Structure 1
Amino acid sequence: MSETEYKSDYVQLLNQALESGSLYQVRQMIKTLPAAGIAHLLESSPPKARSVLWQLLDKGAEGEVIQYLNEDLQGVFLSEYDAAEVAELAIGLEPDDLADILQQLPQQVAAEVLQAMDEQDRQRVETVLSHDEDTAGGLMNTDTITVRKGHTVELVLRYLRRHDEIPEMTDNIHVVNRQDMFLGILPLRELLVSDPVTLVMDVMRTDIEAIPVSMPAEQVAQLFEQNDWVSAPVVDENGKLVGRITIDDVVDVIRDSTEHSLMSMAGLDEEDDTFAPVMKTARRRAVWLGVNLVAAALAALVIYAFQDVVDQLVYLAVLMPIVANMGGVAGTQTLTLVIRSIALGHISPSNSAWLVIRELNVAMLNGLVWAVGMGLIAMFWYGDLLLALIAGAAMMFNIVSAALAGAWLPLFLRRVNLDPALAGSVVLHTFTDSIGFFAVLVLAQVFYL
């Protein structure tokens, strides 16, 4: 049984227990789940079941669970707590996770939560909150272990033994000077196998470049992927060590980026709650539907402008959607490829022109093939050679135009600081529909009537 099937069966069993009122059984089942599993269960349950499940959680588990929930659901549960309760719930959370949670609260409540925390924890969280959440500073954890390069391995080991525990996912110890300037890393594997009298400077690595605190989160994820890092140091603009980023936070960035690209094409938010109230969901989707209505109306204006042509050649109404749809598909293929390449960092000013030319060549080849196919279909349906040539030429023109738009549009949107995944799809489909209709109608007016 796959993990997905297992989770699905577990959700079904728990919901059946809830419906039957077997709350003791539900509580016992919840206790067997890790925090991430409980969060998945909450996200997979309808609102009424969620409320019951949350009340059945042990008080000490609430903080662990809430950090794994999507932002919408975090907001729902946190709204039921006052500042003191949120501060208690936050005990034991990493500063970066707590910062994410505080950003879901009203500013005044978040400030009260910070005031309720002890000074050291408050300073750590405030350090993370001072940076944009989509940068390395917003991802980092300020809990780090540092040593000096003049220390011996034996001294470092004694220093580590004084800690009750070391931060999670610690694979390296950071080496700094007296001003906390980052100098390099001491891998734990080197520490464990080195002679006790060996100096840190003799086994440390200095070829590791620290991540600037202002680096965008997606670039951080690319570096982790390229270098197979488990963790990486973060430095400020002066080279001072301010924290570290671990792979679990990078996995969240990659997942969020993937969900964002997928959901944005439909005008949805990656944090949308699957079981959110109907009115709330309807309001969110209404805006995007309105945008698409305007876009469709703009495309329809092309047909309106050539109403006389459509009246005289009614069967053009059959051919136009085919031409427009094929252009939309071709454009979407190119658009998706370019958006993916942008996300992976494969596109730069030096190669973007080459990519556009390549996509045009691909479109011309496919356009020629499917122009012939479109012409044969029109010939088979209507037995009119001229009409078949018009349909084929319109198909060729629209596919090439769509590919050009699909390649150029995301590059342009990125340059003007707009999200290509969000705006690209609706603009592209409006363009391909309009061009497809226009090509068929103009060619028919010029050569047929």
Structure 2
Amino acid sequence: MSVSVPSNPDGTRFDDLHQILQQGGMRRAARMLNALQPAEIAHLLESLPPKERELAWNLVEAEYDGEVLTYLHDDVREHLIQLMDTGELVAAVGSLDTDDLADIFQDLPVAITQEVVNSLDQQRRDRLEKALSFPEDSAGGLMNTDTVTVRPEMTLDVVMRYLRRLKDGLPDITDNLIVVNRKGNYLGVLYLTDLVTHDPEDSVAEAMTLDIQAIPATWSAREVATRFEQHDLVTAPVIDEDGGLLGRITVDDVMDVIREEAEHQFMGQAGLSETEDMFAPVLLSARRRALWLGVNLLTAFLAAWVIGRFEATIQQVVALAVLMPVVASMGGIAGTQTLTLAIRGIAVGQLSIKNARWLLWKEMAVAGINSVIWALVVALIARLWFHDTNIALVIGAAISINLLAAAFSGAMLPLLLERFGIDPALAGGVILTTVTDVVGFLSFLGLATIFLL
């Protein structure tokens, strides 16, 4: 009996699975799960609370376990690995491609890793060792060592016969064959379209393409993603410092890099990790967030200390207490706009210390225009509200000062943090908020002390 898998959105599919599990329909749930692609199974597992997730994981057929694990975020994968016995785990990861195995190898229990290595043949063991020798976020860490290579002197007819013998052994996402010399150095690629459209008697050298530049194994994952985007690549060869072919990177791995980068940028703004499990245990989640809350508390006390220095001023002019949030909020929003633009520029490789001066000039000009416009608007509202021209002038000046300070901080802060090895996406928001709060309160209350008392 076959099960019709819903083709509706993931939310409805999740609701269906959730309801089936609650009703105890294990067989139906198993058929529904195993009719999906591994990436879809992983997505559904991450959408389930812990108890239902464990039930669903036990329903996934063993042949899919390894691939599903590669699509899960670190926290969820680590939890599900703990539920598997040694034999299941070795069988699940042993069938994975080398690059996927390398990705999850370090998440495996220490007692299991040696058994996994022992279960591999010598060729796969060497490939795994090579993949693990590179940092995870480098081209070498992304690459798959399963490649099909040909020599330039071979005829296309010989290549075709060679591929027929490979049959199912041809690696997934193969759009070209990599051309190397006798020493294994990269020369170019032979696209499959050129292979089937050229004369069979032509040599590989006559049909190959020389335009595809190989990617050094030391490149960062971000640089690799940029190369794929700019050149519309499906696969790309990876070489060592001597030009020797090491492997290739496929577009599916690059898509993972782009997704992880986007999640990192988004989650980092709240001080969270992109790998955090939405349904992680309460104490674990609380411990992870406590540190960032503590940092934020320190910055909040700094802003409060600035306000406290002007306590006498606030007591005499109560209107200042009403208007203080306006100054801080305007600066925070303006700074966040510039900060987001700068972080994105760094992420896509468009912003560096060399062109930061032009971004700073542009953002200061934008802030200057906006500061004039909104200072007049806020001053007019304050004048109509409190019937006091001096208060209106003070808050207008404070708005201008804070918007300019926010633009300067938002443009320079990401570059400064990156220079010190601090992730701008993670720390930039908290520091910027502190700067705009302190500058806003200091300028507003300081001007009020000078001109209103």
TM category, shorter: over 0.9
- Match in the other structure for 1:389: 393
Q: 1:289-438 counterparts in 2 under 5 A?
A: 289-438=293-442
Cα displacement (A) at 1:283: 1.1
- Match in the other structure for 1:142: 145
Dislocated runs of 4+, deviation >6 Å: none
The residue type paired with residue 132 of structure 1 is P
The residue type paired with residue 365 of structure 1 is I
The residue type paired with residue 131 of structure 2 is V
Structure 2: distance between partners of 1:308 and 1:230: 66
The residue type paired with residue 75 of structure 1 is E
Question: For 1:44, which of 40, 44, 47 is the aligned residue?
Answer: 47
CA contact (8 A) 1:328 1:433 kept: yes
CA contact (8 A) 1:152 1:197 kept: yes
Q: CA RMSD in A?
A: 1.4
Q: 1:159-174 counterparts in 2 under 5 A?
A: 159-165=162-168, 166-174=170-178
Query: 1:142-176 deviations in whole A, cap 9, x for unaligned?
Result: 00000100110011111111113210110010000
Structure 2: distance between partners of 1:34 and 1:308: 66
Task: Tell which deviates more after alignment, 394-403 or 345-354.
Answer: 345-354
CA contact (8 A) 2:352 2:415 kept: no
- Aligned to 2:246, the other structure's residue is in SS state strand
Structure 2: distance between partners of 1:106 and 1:389: 65
The residue type paired with residue 437 of structure 1 is F
Query: 1:115-161 deviations in whole A, cap 9, x for unaligned?
Result: 33222212111211111000001100000000100110011111111
- Match in the other structure for 1:233: 237
Cα displacement (A) at 1:107: 4.2
CA contact (8 A) 2:62 2:88 kept: no
Question: For 1:220, which of 224, 239, 255 is the aligned residue?
Answer: 224
Q: 1:148-227 counterparts in 2 under 5 A?
A: 148-165=151-168, 166-227=170-231
CA contact (8 A) 2:335 2:410 kept: yes
Query: 1:200-238 deviations in whole A, cap 9, x for unaligned?
Result: 111111122100001000110011010100000000111
The residue type paired with residue 419 of structure 1 is D
Task: Tell which deviates more after alignment, 390-399 or 273-282.
Answer: 273-282
- Aligned to 1:90, the other structure's residue is in SS state helix
Cα displacement (A) at 1:113: 2.1
Q: Percent of pairs identical after alignment?
A: 49
CA contact (8 A) 1:87 1:117 kept: no
The residue type paired with residue 134 of structure 1 is D
- Match in the other structure for 2:96: 93
The residue type paired with residue 353 of structure 1 is R
Cα displacement (A) at 1:4: 9.7
CA contact (8 A) 1:406 1:428 kept: yes
Task: Tell which deviates more after alignment, 153-162 or 76-85.
Answer: 76-85
- Aligned to 2:166, the other structure's residue is in SS state coil
Structure 2: distance between partners of 1:83 and 1:137: 29
Structure 2: distance between partners of 1:271 and 1:126: 25
Task: Tell which deviates more after alignment, 140-149 or 77-86.
Answer: 77-86
Question: For 1:18, which of 5, 16, 21 is the aligned residue?
Answer: 21
Task: Tell which deviates more after alignment, 17-26 or 360-369.
Answer: 17-26
- What's the TM-score once normalised by structure 2's chain length? 0.96
Cα displacement (A) at 1:193: 0.8
Structure 2: distance between partners of 1:235 and 1:108: 33
Cα displacement (A) at 1:110: 2.4
- Aligned to 1:150, the other structure's residue is in SS state coil
Question: For 1:243, which of 234, 244, 247 is the aligned residue?
Answer: 247
Question: For 1:64, which of 58, 64, 67 is the aligned residue?
Answer: 67
Question: For 1:103, which of 103, 106, 110 is the aligned residue?
Answer: 106
- Match in the other structure for 1:122: 125
Cα displacement (A) at 1:367: 0.5
Query: 1:397-418 deviations in whole A, cap 9, x for unaligned?
Result: 0001000000010011122221
Query: 1:67-103 deviations in whole A, cap 9, x for unaligned?
Result: 1111111101112335543221113311111111112
CA contact (8 A) 1:84 1:116 kept: no
- What's the TM-score once normalised by structure 1's chain length? 0.97
- Match in the other structure for 1:53: 56
Structure 2: distance between partners of 1:83 and 1:131: 27
The residue type paired with residue 343 of structure 2 is I
- Match in the other structure for 2:3: none
C-alpha spacing 1:83/1:236, structure 2 compared with 1 (3 Å): farther
Structure 1: distance between partners of 2:161 and 2:7: 45
Structure 1: distance between partners of 2:294 and 2:354: 38
Structure 1: distance between partners of 2:113 and 2:312: 63
Task: Tell which deviates more after alignment, 421-430 or 349-358.
Answer: 349-358
**What is the aligned length?**
447
The residue type paired with residue 423 of structure 1 is A
Question: For 1:279, which of 265, 279, 283 is the aligned residue?
Answer: 283
Structure 2: distance between partners of 1:50 and 1:34: 17
Structure 1: distance between partners of 2:78 and 2:366: 47
- Aligned to 1:89, the other structure's residue is in SS state helix
Task: Tell which deviates more after alignment, 76-85 or 410-419.
Answer: 76-85
- Match in the other structure for 1:33: 36
> Any gaps of 5 or more consecutive residues in structure 2?
1-5
Structure 1: distance between partners of 2:406 and 2:372: 14
CA contact (8 A) 2:151 2:181 kept: yes
